[in-house]
Amino acid sequence: METTIARVFRSLEETEQAREALLQAGVDADAVDIAFQADEAGPVRGNFLAGDSVTSLSTEEEYDRRFRHQGEVSRYILTARVDEARAQDVEAALQRAGGRTIDAATPTPPGPGQQG
């Protein structure tokens, strides 16, 4: 049975190196895809309502505390369709190449009352 493994990379160079490692390990080139994910308007830095609150101090520190977790939204996603029997080896190769899971690549925003 076939499974799909996805990992996130910060640069095209890292992504290409990971792709090459999979090809060298015998993964079929047609089974490996690279996608670029970005917001054409640039990284999210909050919203236009920041500072409009009656209780807001509108300070740089407050803005940073509220929106620092947004970060850069551009990333490269490599997916590989492989036989389940090879999944562990492929996952290990992608980890060695610097690939991160979607959950690990996406910071969790701080909850109410927590600082980021």
What are the residue ranges spanned by the domains of the chain? 7-105
Query: Rounded to two decimals, what is the model's pTM?
Result: 0.64
Q: Which CATH class is domain 7-105?
A: alpha beta
Per-residue pLDDT of the chain (116 residues; tens, 9 = 90+): 999 999 999 889 999 999 999 999 999 999 999 998 875 555 544 454 444 455 555 666 665 665 554 445 568 999 999 999 999 999 999 999 999 987 776 665 555 655 54
Sheet with 2-9: list strands edge to edge: 2-9, 75-83, 32-37
List of residues 6+ apart from 88 with CB closer than 8 A: none
Distance (Å, whole) CA 93 – CA 83: 15
